[in-house]
Amino acid sequence: MNVHSTETGTPGGLDRILRTGPFHLALRAAIEARGLALHRVRHRLAQRGIHVGVTSLSYWQQGARRPRRAESLRAVRALEDVLGLPDGSLLRLLAPADDGGRERPASRSYQSLFERPDVLRELLAELDSPLDGGLHTLDHWERVRIGARRELLTRSSQQAVRAHRDGIDRCLAIHYGDTGCAPERVRVRAGENCRVGRVRWSEGAPVVVTELLFDTRLRSGETYVFGYAFEDGTGGVSHEYVRGFRFGGGPYVLQVGFDAEELPVRCHSFARTSAGARPSGAQELTLSGASRTVHLVRHSAGPGILGIGWEWA
């Protein structure tokens, strides 16, 4: 999905986000509006004597990092020229927040997003893979099915990503089951444009980590679309589904569907800053009678946790 058309819609939308921010969304929208890949932005900056790596540009437009040093702020001034923006329009959005000089963090550690970060750390070490695999998400659709025993049956994802370094040919997917989940019985199913690579799980913890191998090797700035699913059905009664985001990203859609014979009495969406934090921003969701589903839509997800919870009679 085109981030510009989703996030801003029109040039007028770009004007709006340049007024309101935040910086990373304004930068991303401006780059999309110009139709430039990040390596082309880097090249045009280099022509002006400004040298910034594609990775740094990618992190800036994700919200994973903010330009702070003098040379970085000089690059932001040059970006305004490269992208045809009014003078100061991006720099203004980097002004410190009025909260004692502190700024809200632009990212979350994976330790804060998962209830068993120790297990996840061990599994990642076995795969010799960091969570930041050189990709950031542009668009993510996720569907969850809850079964007749009120258990999490399946969760499937369709993602569009962009590489921010050369040579990317895979990504990691992580599944956290409900209490009682048997990770050795969870199955990973590859969808379009990918294959299942190595799969790791830990006895006694409801965690499964898998590699998804792409059909091509991406260069920096290239985009890719792929799909996959986890088939579970091994855990106990499910009460919520959550998705953690380390960095600010693109649009996210989550849809949860229920069995016709076992419908919840109430559903709501919510957010958390970390795995152990109290939910905030709860909104009631109406169950669709025809499809027996509820959903949430966020035009810019993360950093943090988004989810849907439900109550049984």
DSSP per position, 256-276? EEE-TTS--SEEEEEEESSTT
User: Which among 181, 248, 173, 261 has a CA at the least distance from the CA of 210?
Assistant: 173
pLDDT at 222 (0 to 100): 86
Q: Where are the alpha helices (DSSP H) in the chain?
A: 3-7, 11-20, 23-34, 38-47, 54-62, 70-82, 110-113, 117-127
Amino acid identity, residue 144? Answer: V
Please give the Cα distance from 86 to 103 (Å, whole number): 25
DSSP per position, 65-121? ----SHHHHHHHHHHHHHTTPPTTTTGGGGSPPTTTT----SB--HHHH-S-HHHHH
Q: 171 burial class (0-12, 13-18, 19+ CB within 10 angstroms)? A: buried
pLDDT at 300 (0 to 100): 76
Please give the Cα distance from 152 to 154 (Å, whole number): 6
Task: Kindly report the three-state secondary structure assignment for every residue of 271-291.
Answer: EECCCCCCCEEEEEECCCCCC
- Report residue 37 as tokens: 């890949």
pLDDT at 186 (0 to 100): 97
pLDDT per residue over 14-48, tens digit each?
887 888 778 888 898 899 888 999 999 999 999 99
Strands 135-146 and 252-258, how do they pair? parallel
- Sequential pLDDT tens for the chain (313 residues): 222 223 333 344 688 788 877 888 889 889 988 899 999 999 999 999 999 998 889 888 877 788 888 888 899 999 999 999 998 889 888 865 443 434 444 566 666 788 888 888 888 888 887 666 678 788 999 999 999 999 999 999 999 988 877 889 999 999 999 999 999 999 999 999 999 999 999 888 999 999 999 999 998 778 899 999 999 999 999 999 999 887 766 789 999 999 999 999 999 999 998 888 888 889 999 998 889 999 999 987 778 899 999 999 9
pLDDT at 62 (0 to 100): 78
pLDDT at 110 (0 to 100): 67
- Largest pairwise CA distance in the chain: 65
pLDDT per residue over 186-217, tens digit each?
999 999 999 999 999 988 899 999 999 999 99
Please give the Cα distance from 23 to 232 (Å, whole number): 39
pLDDT at 310 (0 to 100): 98
Query: Cα–Cα distances in Å, from 185 out to 146, 215, 232, 256, 284?
Result: 17, 27, 7, 22, 34
Query: Cα–Cα distances in Å, from 252 out to 4, 25, 189, 193?
Result: 15, 15, 21, 20
Please give the Cα distance from 144 to 146 (Å, whole number): 7
Please give the Cα distance from 46 to 57 (Å, whole number): 13
125: left (phi over 0), alpha (psi -120 to 50) or beta: alpha
Query: Domains along the chain?
Result: 3-94 (no CATH), 110-311 (2.60.40)
